Amino acid sequence: MELELRGITKRFGPLVANDGISLSVAPGQVHALLGENGAGKSTLMNVLYGLMQPDEGEILIDGTPVNFHSPKDAIAAGIGMVHQHFMLVPVFTVAENVTLGIENGDYLREDLAAKPPQGIRAILPRVGVLDKRRTRREVAELSHRYGLDVDPDALVEDLPVGMQQRVEIIKALVRQANVLILDEPTAVLTPAETEELFRIVRRLRDGGTSVIFISHKLKEVHSIADTITVLRRGAVVGQREPSATEADLASLMVGRNVQLRVTKSPAKPGAPVLTVTDLTVRGDDGRTWVDGLSFDVRAGEILGIAGVQGNGQTELCEALMGLRPTADGKVTLNDKDLTRAAPRERLRAGVAYVPEDRTEDGLVGSFSVAENLILDMYDTKQFASGINLKLPEIAKNATERIAEFDVRTGSPATPAGTLSGGNQQKVILAREVGREHKVLIASQPTRGLDVGSIEFVHRRIVEQRDHGVAVVIVSSELDEIYALADRIAVMYEGKITGFRDPDVPTAELGRLMAGGTDAAPPAAAQPSAMPAAPGTRDEGEGA
């Protein structure tokens, strides 16, 4: 099936999300759509999938113009979409999710559907009976054909994220999709799951299915794409072959040369600012997430905490901010005991915090950008007089921060939840470093960001260090740890297995991340916990 978009334009008030976009997708081709967060990639695909209607332009299939008024029309035309946030019912099985929405068609039991209703069913709406045997058979057949390895009877809530994504792919294939849209498909996947996804995509391509692969990651499009279209601020700015350099692609995405490696001078650490002593944190179920942790962070240095996600890093950050109670140990800031202090007290004492989940913990999506920029300062003399807010001061602060941190928003009154991920992160960073602080704790600070936003966030973090702030960076990306850290601590099962300088070989960090310690290295590291070797690192994503 030949797919072509001609002059697609989509506006949201004064914002032009798609500006005359034209592209074509050949049968059996992986066409990557590359661009920064907010470049218009997802909007364009929502138009193609019938979720939005274009203001201008047309969609052609095999040379014939088509109009999609809903996803139902797009599906009928052979277009499927796997959204970044999966559209699955957790308590349903794989087979039930796959046939959800098409139960009234071929998947009703013919033998029972043909019988006239009797008894109570005679006065109830006709619902039919799902042909579960056929459903399981088709799921199993598609799973085998494309190497998806999905159990039709498994409950979705019991499946890992990578397997749930495969269920979404099967949903599209059952509906006979000839073009499959994958919207930021690796955003929630581990490296191993990403490689499995690429294997599946290549198998789909080899079977004649066209794939539109939406991403902001340079390494991914190099690995999987047959052709690459780059969007910037809603418009096509170029098309490249996979042989294009990362520097070329990054420049097209951002509109300028992008520094793919962090440049920083040697650290000049001062006295310890944040001191953590024998810290223990337990969950509600009694599980020990942080087990007797001790470390300090000095003024003018970046301590990078490395480790496979799920080894207590999130709980450590929450405990340092007072969002999670400590079972034992002590936290001090310049000799001031903060162990039992509330989050507000820690903020006032000089702790700045960039949380792991920006949408849930860093912002109030329905509040304006201006309001989000003063969330932890709204009651200070600068922005309030008694119970009254100083609206001119709030607006002035927002205008200055938006300009300083290059937040791309229509106005300070724009709801923060409508911004792209990179711009949301800039709002949080602007708020946290915009007030007086002595310590900056940043958890997964560039997760889900594009190369331009990563470069910006990294540069700002290094600036904080150079201004004498003690910085703690928690990241599951080794590239990011290597790029930023002046000293590295490795966490495994709630404990620090070792401290290292940033020139440590990746294999050594891998050994510590797998549970090895300085005192007694394990006889055999666990392969599943090992990070990628330096040669596999994506220089555009974390360094």
The C-alpha angle 15, 21, 24, rounded to 5 degrees, equals: 155
Distances (CA, A) of 250 to 33, 299, 386, 405: 13, 34, 49, 20
Banded model confidence at residue 45, pLDDT cuts 50, 70, 90: very high
Distances (CA, A) of 48 to 17, 64, 165, 180: 14, 15, 20, 11
Q: How does the average pLDDT of the chain come out, rounded?
A: 84
- In this prediction, residue 472 carries a pLDDT of 97
Q: pTM of the full predicted structure? A: 0.65
Same topology, domains 3-107+130-254 and 271-514? Answer is yes
Distance (Å, rounded) from C-alpha 316 to C-alpha 49?
42
- Return the CATH number of 271-514, one of 3.40.50.300, 3.90.1170.50, 3.50.50.60, 3.30.420.40: 3.40.50.300
Residue identified by tokens 């704790």 is: 441
Name the DSSP class of 486: S
* Burial tier of 85 (Cβ tally within 10 Å: 0-12, 13-18, 19+): exposed
pLDDT, tens digit (0-9, with 9 covering 90-100), for 229-257: 999 889 999 999 999 988 888 888 877 77
Banded model confidence at residue 526, pLDDT cuts 50, 70, 90: very low
pLDDT, tens digit (0-9, with 9 covering 90-100), for 197-230: 899 999 999 999 999 999 877 888 888 999 999 9
Q: What is the signed CA dihedral for 373, 377, 378, 383, rounded to 10 degrees?
A: -90
Give the 3-state secondary structure of residue 192: helix
Q: How many CA atoms lie within 13 A of 408 on its CB side?
A: 18
What mean pLDDT do residues 502-519 have?
82
- In this prediction, residue 520 carries a pLDDT of 45
Bridging pattern class, strands 3-12 and 56-61 = antiparallel
pLDDT, tens digit (0-9, with 9 covering 90-100), for 258-296: 666 778 889 999 999 999 999 999 988 888 999 999 999
336-337 sheet: strands from edge to edge: 288-298, 272-282, 328-333, 336-337
pLDDT, tens digit (0-9, with 9 covering 90-100), for 69-87: 999 999 999 999 998 778 8
Res 35 pLDDT > 50: yes
Q: Which residues of 224-262 are buried (b: 16+ CB within 10 A; e: fewer)?
A: bbbbbbbbbebbbebebeeebebeebbbbbbeeebebeb
Distance (Å, rounded) from C-alpha 454 to C-alpha 37?
11
| Class of the domain covering 3-107+130-254 | alpha beta
What mean pLDDT do residues 493-498 have?
92
- In this prediction, residue 523 carries a pLDDT of 38
Q: Where are the domains of the chain?
A: 3-107+130-254, 271-514
pLDDT, tens digit (0-9, with 9 covering 90-100), for 106-137: 544 444 344 444 443 443 344 445 567 877 88
Contact residues for 128 (Cβ-Cβ < 8 A; gap 6+): 103, 104, 108, 109, 112, 113
What mean pLDDT do residues 489-518 have?
88
* DSSP-assigned letters across all residues of 70-121: SHHHHHHTTEEEE-SS----TTSBHHHHHHTT-TTTTTB-HHHHTSPP-GGG
Of 475, 503, 463, 476, residue with least CA distance to 487: 503
Contact residues for 431 (Cβ-Cβ < 8 A; gap 6+): 372, 373, 374, 375, 376, 377, 401
- Percentage of the chain lying above the pLDDT 90 cut: 48
What mean pLDDT do residues 179-206 have?
83
pLDDT, tens digit (0-9, with 9 covering 90-100), for 408-456: 888 899 999 888 777 898 999 999 988 889 999 999 888 767 777 788 8
- In this prediction, residue 259 carries a pLDDT of 66
- In this prediction, residue 471 carries a pLDDT of 96
- In this prediction, residue 129 carries a pLDDT of 53
